[in-house]
Amino acid sequence: MAARGLFADSIQRLAPLIGVALALACTSACLSSGSRSPRFVYEPEEFRAAVRARVPELSQSLVEPPFEVSEAAIELAREHIERAHLGPPRVRALIHALQADPPDGFGLRYDWRISATASRTLELRQGNCISLASVLIGIGRGLGWPMYYAVASSRHPTTYDLDEFSVVTDHMVVVVAPRSFQMIVDFTGELQEQPRIEPIDDLSAYAHFINNVAGQHLIDAGSRISDENWRIALKGFRLATRLDPDLGRAWNNTGIALTRLERFDEAREAYARALEAGTAFGSAERNLSLLETRVLGTDTIAEGDSIPGLR
């Protein structure tokens, strides 16, 4: 694949979408829109087969592509964009349609607490960045546009301090990359610094999604978090590592859950996998150090864990 920078529309910004959706000036990512190697995009049936190959015992409800939307949603979007000029104006028209209230649009709103598939997000009319990215990708691909998931990593990620742990986040964005132009859509508002943009394939995006859902289960439990909550979250974190064995943040989160369940040897192995994969934000190294402190009996880690995730 020929390496070339991803250049967004350098003059005009995209219309607002739950804050500001930006066309960033230039990123460090590499993507060739016409390339199938490495593979980024899966058709729904190909996606299901690939997930089954990695996790054969997975229930049917967990094999559905997160980006799959109905033909009705695609046709509604087509009606909203058909009068716009080709190229970036049509992307802006689609973003406006996602934001506009019904019956003029889909009425989507940003909510960092909600991770959902594209179809569920359209029902709820709200979701976080991975949820909204899935809607845009599902509809955009249905319209014939090449669109890709991408992680936007900041040197200064957002941190949410909760009762029992901290959640350290970065963002999911969408790369729009036909042959004639390239754009990046961000759903979280105008970023204070230019992040590193890393396009990822659909299976890795799904692993991020599952990791998010598992983390959200713990957040929703709040001050009532129990061992059972940690066991449920652990299943999700482990599933994410099976979908993408190189997803360091999911290995790190697996280590945290195992530590809380006092399965220390397994936790060490999970943190080691996180370090091998290069987990986000340095959390795994810190959490491993805190684990060893706890095992030695000289301190606790009740307030120390850092769970990386996407919002």
Write the Ramachandran bin of 222: left for phi over 0, alpha for psi from -120 to 50, otherwise beta: left
Asked if 169 and 102 sit in the same domain, the reply is: yes
Domain final residue pick, 170, 200, 230: 200
Domain final residue pick, 173, 200, 227: 200
The confidence score (pLDDT) of residue 9 equals: 27
Asked if 136 and 33 sit in the same domain, the reply is: yes
Domain annotation covers residue 213: no
Asked if 230 and 191 sit in the same domain, the reply is: no
Domain annotation covers residue 206: no
Domain annotation covers residue 90: yes
pLDDT by residue, tens only, the chain of 311 residues: 222 222 222 222 223 333 222 232 223 333 444 444 468 999 999 999 999 999 999 999 899 999 999 999 999 999 999 999 999 999 999 999 999 999 889 999 999 889 999 999 999 999 999 999 999 999 999 999 999 999 987 766 666 565 666 666 678 999 999 988 899 998 865 444 567 889 999 999 999 999 999 988 988 887 788 999 999 999 999 999 999 999 988 998 999 899 999 999 999 999 999 888 875 555 677 777 777 777 766 544 344 566 666 55
Asked if 230 and 186 sit in the same domain, the reply is: no
Q: How far is CA 69 from CA 93, 140, 186, 260, in A?
A: 18, 10, 20, 38
Asked if 32 and 168 sit in the same domain, the reply is: yes
Asked if 195 and 256 sit in the same domain, the reply is: no
Asked if 149 and 7 sit in the same domain, the reply is: yes
Asked if 163 and 273 sit in the same domain, the reply is: no
Cα 285 from Cα 74, distance rounded (Å)? 44
Asked if 94 and 154 sit in the same domain, the reply is: yes
Closest CA relative to residue 175, chosen from 209, 211, 205: 205
Domain annotation covers residue 205: no
Domain annotation covers residue 211: no
Q: What is the DSSP string of 93-117?
A: HHHHHHHSPTTSS---EE-TT----
Q: Which residue carries 């099976």 as its tokens?
A: 242
Cα 58 from Cα 82, distance rounded (Å)? 40
Q: What is the pLDDT of residues 32-70, one digit of tens each?
A: 444 444 689 999 999 999 999 999 999 998 999 999 999
Q: Which residue carries 């959390």 as its tokens?
A: 283
Compute the CA torsion angle 162, 200, 238, 267 (nearest 10 deg). Answer: -70
Domain final residue pick, 167, 200, 233: 200
Query: Residue 276 belongs to what domain range?
Result: 218-311
Judge whether 8 and 27 are in contact, CB under 8 Å.
Answer: yes
CATH number at residue 25: 3.10.620
Asked if 142 and 234 sit in the same domain, the reply is: no
Cα 133 from Cα 118, distance rounded (Å)? 8
Asked if 152 and 293 sit in the same domain, the reply is: no
Number of structural domains found in the chain = 2
Asked if 81 and 228 sit in the same domain, the reply is: no
Burial pattern 178-200, b for ≥16 Cβ within 10 A else e, equals beebbbbbbbbeeeeeebebbbb
Domain annotation covers residue 207: no
Q: What is the pLDDT of residues 95-112, one digit of tens each?
A: 999 999 998 899 999 998
Domain annotation covers residue 212: no
Judge whether 4 and 26 are in contact, CB under 8 Å.
Answer: no
